[in-house]
Amino acid sequence: MTELTDLDDFLKQNVNGYLFADLEAMKAITLKPGEVVGAVGYPLLMATFAGIELLGTLVSTSPFSNKDGRRYFSSFWTEYLYKDAPQRDMGEPVYELARHGLMHLYAVKCNITVTKGEPDKHLRQDKSNNVIYIDSVQLADDLMSSYTNHVRPLLTKTDGSTMAQRLTEMRKWYAEKTKEPVESWSKTLPYYVIPLLTVPQSGKCSTESPASSGSALPLKK
């Protein structure tokens, strides 16, 4: 399998498959009667933030570093997501005030209000109360559009090789980072985990795991 084919498979499974499918599923959830907050607005925003950072990592022209998440997020926001829009310079404050708060404490910092399905408020400030709005649906839509219109076309250019290299570097780093804990868990888990047994048509027992319901970064053997 060539690196470009591997990259294309990763994008189809992890971006189109897991990420965008989950974004669409969360977009469709609405508030129940009598409720005024919720409807997975925060999880939708968190998944979108992760997607921005992932794509920013893949399109980066410099080697992968796990310490450059802020730069990957901000550069993708500026150069791809809102390149020609008034919101172009909002990537840094959004990363600091919304992304950090949600990912670590499930709360946004400062006077930020997360809406869902109110596109007219998206990334606008209400000066009467100094509130900045982020619409989770609109940001998800903008990310998916940016991917389709600006990222996918890179695969047919020399940028595709660069993206493939970033993916290889990411996998290498995660493989090295998780090697020790995985080896440690493999010694400990059998004492606490009961294997999931399945009985195939042959009648012989198997301990094969079912397909994952979530996404993990596939590591090449």
* Reported pTM: 0.83
154 burial type by CB count under 10 A (0-12 exposed, 13-18 middle, 19+ buried): middle
CA atoms within 13 A on the CB side of 212: 9
Give CA separation, 161 vs 108, 134, 154, 179, in Å: 37, 34, 9, 27
pLDDT digit of tens for each residue in the chain (221 aa)? Answer: 477 889 999 999 999 999 999 999 999 999 889 988 889 999 999 999 999 999 999 999 999 999 999 999 999 999 999 999 999 999 999 999 999 899 999 999 888 999 999 999 999 999 898 899 999 999 999 999 999 999 999 988 878 899 999 999 999 998 888 877 777 767 776 666 666 655 555 545 444 445 555 555 555 54
